[in-house]
A and B are shown apart, each in its own frame.
Chain A
Amino acid sequence: MDFFLLSLVKAGVVAAVLLTTLAYLQWVERKVIAHIQLRMGPSRVGPHGLLQPLADVIKLITKEDLIPPHVNKFLYLLAPFLAMTMALISISIIPFGGEIEVFGTKTWMQLTDLNIGVLFILAASSMGVYGIALAGWASNNKYALLGGLRSSAQMISYELPMSLAIAAPLLLLNTLSLREIVQMQSGYAFGIVPRWSVFQGPFPQVISFFVFLIAGFAETNRIPFDLPEAENELVAGFHTEYSSMKFAAFFMAEYANMITIAAMTTILFLGGWHPIFPAAYGADFVAPLIFAIAAGVCFYHGLHPARRFDRITLPVFGFVFAAMAAAFLIPALHDALIPLFWFAAKTGFLLFVFIWIRGTLPRFRYDQLMNFAWKFLFPVALINLLVTGLMVALF
C-alpha cells in the first residue's frame, strides 16, 4: 500500500512539474529567440509575459475542435494522442536525483527504474514516429502527407546513429538501468575531472556525445532538421489539418521529446545529477550562490526600474530567488535539492543549445539530411562503437 501511495504521489509531482516545464520551456524559447533576434518576446500577459503559457493553454482549449470532413477519423484522432503519450512515457524512468528520505520513507527521485531503461526510451521514441506519420497519413492533405513521409524516413534513419551512439557509453558502463548509469559516473579522476562518460577512460565518448545530440535534434524535428513541419515548404507539415488541443498535443510532444533528449544526454554522457566539480571544492555552494546573485540583480533592477511595473515585479522575483538560495542551505533539504539543481542545470543548458541553434542555422534539404545520416553520422557512430569496444576489451 505504501508503495502505491508513494508511486502515486511521485507520478503526480513528476507530471505537474513536467507539464509546467513544457509550458514554460515554450516561454523560454520565445524569449531567448526574441533576444537573439532583437525583439522583446512575450511581454503583455503578466510581468515579462510570464503568464503567456497560461493564456496560450486557455486559448487552445477553448478553440473549436475542428475535424475536417475528408480525414480518416480514427487515425486522425489517434495520432496526437499517440505522439503525446509516447513523449510523456519516457519521462517516467528518468532519474532526477539520488535517494532521499521523505517523512521517514526512503525513496529515489525517479518514478521507476527499469533494468532495460535505455531500450525502453528508444522504444518509446520509435513509437512516437507513428504519431507523426499517422497524422500526415490520416489528414488526407498533400502537405501533411509530405510532412508525414519526411518525418518517418527522417526519424527511422536517425534512430540508427542514435542507438549506436548510445551503445558506446553502455559498453563502458555495462548496464542498461538509467539509475545505475548515473551511479557509475560518480567520482572524480585526479580528484577534479568528473568520471562522466564524455571524459571517462579508456575511450572518452566525445564523438558519441555529439552524434547523439545531432540525432536528438533530428528525432525532435528541430531546426536544422525540422523538415516535417518546414513552414516555408509544407505550410505546417504533418499537423496542417490539426487545430485546438490536438495541435497543442503535437506541440507539447515536441517539447517533451526535447526534454527527454536533453535529460538522456545528461544521464548518458554528462553524469546525471553529479556536480561538475567535487564538493570538496565547494560545488554545493554553486546553487545558492547563483540564486543569491539572481536575487541581488533583481533587487538592484527593482530599485532602478526600466519600466513602471518592474518596481513591484522584480523585488518579488528577488524574494523568490533569495528564498531558493536559503533553501539550498537548509541541511534537511540540502541533499535533495543539490542533485536536482545539477540535473536541471545540465538539462537546461542542453535545452538552451536547442533554442540557440534554432536562432542561428538554416534548414537542411531532404536528400542532404538523409546523406548526412547515412553517409556521415552512421559510419562515425559505427567506428566509434568499434573503437570503444576494442578499448574496453583491451583495458
Chain B
Amino acid sequence: MSDSETSAVLATPPESDARADNVKPRRMTLNMGPQHPSTHGVLRLELELEGETVRSCRPDIGYLHTGIEKQCEALTYQQAVTLTDRVDYLAPLSNNLCYCLAVEKLLSLEIPPMAQWTRVLLTELTRLNSHLVWLGTHAIDIGAMSVFLYCFREREDILRIFELFSGQRMMTSYFRVGGLALAPPRGWQARVKTFIDSFPSKVDEYEDLLTNNRIWINRTRGVGYISLEDMLDLGITGPMLRAAGLNWDTRKSAPYSSYEKFDFEVPTRTENDVYARYQVRVEEMRQSCRIVRQALEGMPAGPHTADASKVVLPERERMKTQMEALIYHFKIVTEGFGVPEGEVYQVIESPRGELGYYVVSDGTAKPYRVHIHGPSFGNLQAVPKLVEGILLADVIASIGSMDFVLGDTDR
C-alpha cells in the first residue's frame, strides 16, 4: 500500500496541505471548555478545526478570577498569608514562601536557619505534590488511567505530612512572616523519612508504566514544540523552559532560603516536546527527593521564628507570664505590624516556574499593593503557538504538558 493511498484513507492526515491549495475546506469552531474533562480547571479554548487538525486557537481565561490581589490590600500582612495559599492551590507552600520572603525583605528580618531549612523541606514536598498531580492528570489525559491513582497514593502521604505540620492538608498557611506558624511536631522526622525512603521506588513504578511505553512515546515525542526564542519572548519559565535546553532555575541562579547550601542538579533536555517536559519533571521529582533528604539529615537546631518581638507572636507560655509579651501579642493580633515604606519584588522557583510577588508598602500594617506574577499565566500564553497545526488529541497532550493551574493564571 503506497503512501498516497494511505493518506486517502485517513480522514484528516496530519500534514494535508496538498489539498488546501485548491479547495478551501470548511472549518468548524469547537468550543473546548470551560467545562471539559481535560482543560484542568476552567480554561476555555476556542479552536478552529479542519477535520481534526487545529488551525487556530484562542485561549480564554478569567473564569477563576478571585480578586486575591485586591483582597490582600484589606488584610494585615500576616493575614494575607492565608490568601496566598489559594492562588496556586496545588503549590500552596510555594506561594506562602514567596510572599513571606518578600515581606521579610521589606522588614529586613533575619530568619533562623532551622526555619529556613524547614521551609526548603516543605516547599520541595510541595513540588513533589504538584508534580504528582501533574503526572497523574497528564497520564489520564493520554489514556493511562492507573498512573493517576498511583500518583495520588503518594500525594496522600505528602498531604498527611502537611497535616502533621500545620493541621491542614491543602491550605496550610504554615509559613508566616518571620518564620513558621508552629514549631514542627514531635516525630515528624520519622514520617518524612519513611516517605522519602520509599518514594524513589514509586517514581520507578510510574516510569515503568510510561517511559518506555511505545504508545506513550508516540503520543508525546515531537508533540507540542515551540522554539526557545518564542518561549523567552512569551515569558515561559520553569520545567517547560528547561525542557527546551535552557538551564534556568531560580534556586540556583538567585538562591533564597538557603538553597545554596543544598546539593542538587537542575535537569534539562533539548528536545522541547511533551516527552522532554515529562522527563524533566520526573527527574525533578528525584532531585526534590534528594533535597528533602538533605534537609532532613542536616536540619539545624534552633528557634523556628525570627527574634523580632514586634512581628512574631510571642510563645503562649511567655504571653501568659510576662506583661511585655502580652502587650505585643495584643498589638500584633489587633493591629498587625507596620512595615517600612518601600517596594520589593521576590522571585522563587515554584513547581510551575518563576513565581514572583511584588509587594508595595506605604508604612501601614496593610500592604498598599500585592501583585502576583504567576508562572501559569506566562506559560499559558504559549498555547496558541503550541497547538496550531496539530491534531485535536495532541492539544490535550500539549496543554497537559504545560502544567498550568487556573487559580494561578486568573488570581
Q: Which residues of A contact B (CB under 8 A)?
A: 33, 36-39, 142-143, 146, 149-150, 153, 157, 223-224, 226-227, 230-233, 235, 358-368, 370-371, 374-375, 378-379
B215 within 8 Å of A by Cβ? yes
Closest to A224 in B: B215
- A-B pairs with lowest CB-CB distance, top 4: A363-B143, A37-B149, A362-B144, A232-B38
Tell whether A362 pairs with B1 under 8 Å between CB atoms, given A142-B28, A146-B392, A367-B13. Answer: no
The smallest C-beta distance from B228 to any residue of chain A, in angstroms, reads 25
Residue of A nearest to B148 (CB): A37
Indicate with 1 or 0, residue by residue over B7-41, a CB within 8 angstroms of chain A CB atoms. 00111111000000000000010100000111000
Q: Does B141 contact A (CB under 8 A)?
A: yes
Contact of A364 among B6, B12, B219 (CB under 8 A): B219
Q: Give chain A residues whose Cβ lies under 8 Å from the Cβ of B140.
A: 232
A360 to B219, CA, bound (A): 15
> Complex: how many Å from CA A365 to CA B30?
19
Instruction: Say whether B135 faces chain A, with CB atoms less than 8 Å apart.
Output: no
- Closest beta carbon of chain A to B346's beta carbon, Å: 37
* Residue B234, interface by CB 8 Å: no
Query: With the chains together, A358 CA to B215 CA distance in Å?
Result: 13
Complex: chain A residue closest to B141, CB-CB: A232
Query: Which residues of chain B come closer than 8 Å to A230, judged between CB atoms?
Result: 143, 393
A37 CA to B144 CA, complexed, in Å: 11
* Residue pair A232, B11 in contact (C-beta under 8 Å): no
Beyond A230-B393, A362-B215, A364-B219, is A235–B144 a contact (Cβ under 8 Å)? no
| Assembled-state Cα–Cα distance A33/B148 (Å) | 13
The CA of A233 and the CA of B38, in the complex, are separated in Å by: 7
Distance from B378 Cβ to chain A, minimum over Cβ atoms (Å): 25
Q: Does B212 contact A (CB under 8 A)?
A: no
User: Is B142 an interface residue, CB under 8 A from the partner?
Assistant: yes
Across the interface, which residues of A come within 8 angstroms of B394, CB to CB? 365
Which residues of chain B in 315-372 are interfacial with respect to chain A, using CB atoms and an 8 Å cutoff?
A: none
**B 355-411 contacts with A by CB, 8 A:** 391-396
Tell me the bound Cα distance from A153 to B213 in angstroms: 25
When A36-B146, A230-B143, A233-B393 are in contact, do A362 and B219 touch as well, CB less than 8 Å? yes
Partner of A235, one of B28, B37, B139, B153: B37
Q: How far is the CB of B127 from chain A (nearest CB, A)?
A: 23
The answer for the CA separation of A379 and B391 in the assembled complex, in Å, is 26
Partner of B143, one of A39, A226, A370: A226
In the bound complex, do residue A370 and residue B10 qualify as a contact, i.e. CB atoms below 8 Å apart? yes
Residues of chain A contacted by B142 (CB below 8 angstroms): 232, 362-363
> How close is B221's CB to chain A, nearest CB, in angstroms?
11
Contact present for A233 and B213 (CB under 8 Å): no
The docked-state distance in angstroms from the alpha carbon of A395 to that of B393 is: 49
Q: Is the CB of A362 within 8 A of B139?
A: yes
Which residues from chain A contact B395 at a C-beta distance below 8 Å? 233
- B201 at the binding interface (Cβ < 8 Å): no
Contacts of B308 in A (CB 8 A): none
Minimum CB–CB distance from B341 to chain A (whole Å) comes to: 50
B143 and A223 form a contact (CB under 8 A)? yes
* Inter-chain contact A360/B38, CB cutoff 8 Å: no
With A150-B52, A358-B145, A359-B145 given, name 11 new contacts (CB 8 A): A37-B149, A142-B30, A143-B30, A153-B10, A223-B143, A223-B145, A224-B143, A231-B37, A363-B215, A364-B215, A379-B1
- In the bound complex, residues from chain B placing their C-beta under 8 Å from that of A361 are 143-144, 213, 215
- Map CB proximity to A onto B234-259 as digits: 1 under 8 Å, 0 otherwise: 00000000000000000000000000
The reply on B209 being an interface residue by CB < 8 A is yes
Nearest-neighbour CB distance to chain A for B368, whole angstroms, equals: 44
Which residues of B are found within 8 Å of A226, using beta-carbon distances? 143
Choose from A38, A143, A367 the contact partner of B149 (Cβ within 8 Å). A38
Which interface residue of A143, A233, A379 has the most chain B CB atoms within 10 A? A233
The CA-CA distance from A150 to B52 in the complex, in Å, is: 10
Contact partner of A363 (CB less than 8 A), chosen from B146, B219, B392, is B219
Known contacts A365-B219, A366-B52, A375-B1; A233 and B392 CB within 8 A of each other: yes
- B143–A232 touching, CB < 8 Å: yes
